[in-house]
């Protein structure tokens, strides 16, 4: 018969307490997960990687990546909200670029793991 209370015994109390004391606040870990969630989509990764090389306008991104303008625009909003891209206007054209080097660092380190 299964234990419906789900009350587990602590097997190694000292270790559990030690780890618990060193865990960052949940809020930080939540933000961290949110950040990686942004990188966890092929479309957004491709957009970010394209911007790795050069600033680009929305239309060109759509063309370059074989996506609809709408899809690109929606994803750019996500990237903007998470401060991963910035933009400048030139008439009716809007050029997007990576907002800082964190993006490059994060992608580079991920690449190391993937390319093994």
Partner DNA sequence: TTATCATATGAACAGATGAACATATAATAA
Partner DNA sequence: TTATTATATGTTCATCTGTTCATATGATAA
Other C-beta atoms closer than 10 Å to the C-beta of 59 total 12
21 binds DNA (CB under 7 A): no
Q: Pick from 74, 77, 88, 102 the residue near a copy of itself by CB under 8 A.
A: 102
> How many CA atoms are closer than 13 Å to the CA of 46, on its beta-carbon side?
13
Query: Can you spell out the DSSP letters for the chain?
Result: ---TT--PPPSSHHHHHHHHHHPPPHHHHHHHHHHHHHHSSHHHHHHHHHHHH--EEHHHHHHHHT--HHHHHHHHHHHHHTTSEEEEEETTEEEEEESSHHHHHHHHHHHHHHT-
97 binds DNA (CB under 7 A): no
Least Å distance, CB 78 to DNA, is 6
Whether the CB-CB separation of 52 and 62 falls below 8 Å is answered with: no
Partner from DNA, a copy of itself, none contacting 25, C-beta within 5 to 8 A by type: none
Least Å distance, CB 17 to a copy of itself, is 9
Tell me phi and psi for residue 104, to 5 degrees: -60, -45
71 binds DNA (CB under 7 A): yes
7 binds DNA (CB under 7 A): no
Q: Which residues bind a copy of itself (CB under 8 A)?
A: 6, 8-12, 15-16, 18-20, 22-24, 26, 28-42, 44-46, 49-50, 53-54, 56-57, 59-60, 62-64, 68-69, 93, 102, 105-107, 109-115
Contact positions vs DNA (CB under 7 A): 2, 4, 8-9, 11, 37, 40-44, 57-60, 67-78, 87, 89, 91-94
């Amino acid at each position: 018969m299964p234990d419906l209370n789900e009350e587990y015994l602590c097997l190694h109390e000292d270790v559990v307490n030690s780890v618990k004391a060193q865990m960052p606040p949940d809020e930080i870990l939540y933000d961290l997960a949110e950040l990686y969630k942004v990188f966890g989509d092929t479309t957004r990764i491709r957009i970010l990687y394209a911007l790795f090389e050069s600033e680009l306008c929305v239309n060109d991104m759509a063309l370059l990546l074989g996506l609809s303008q709408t899809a690109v625009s929606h994803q750019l909003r996500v990237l903007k909200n998470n401060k991963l891209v910035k933009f400048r206007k030139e008439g009716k054209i809007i050029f997007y670029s990576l907002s800082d080097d964190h993006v490059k660092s994060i992608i580079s380190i991920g690449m190391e793991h993937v390319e093994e």
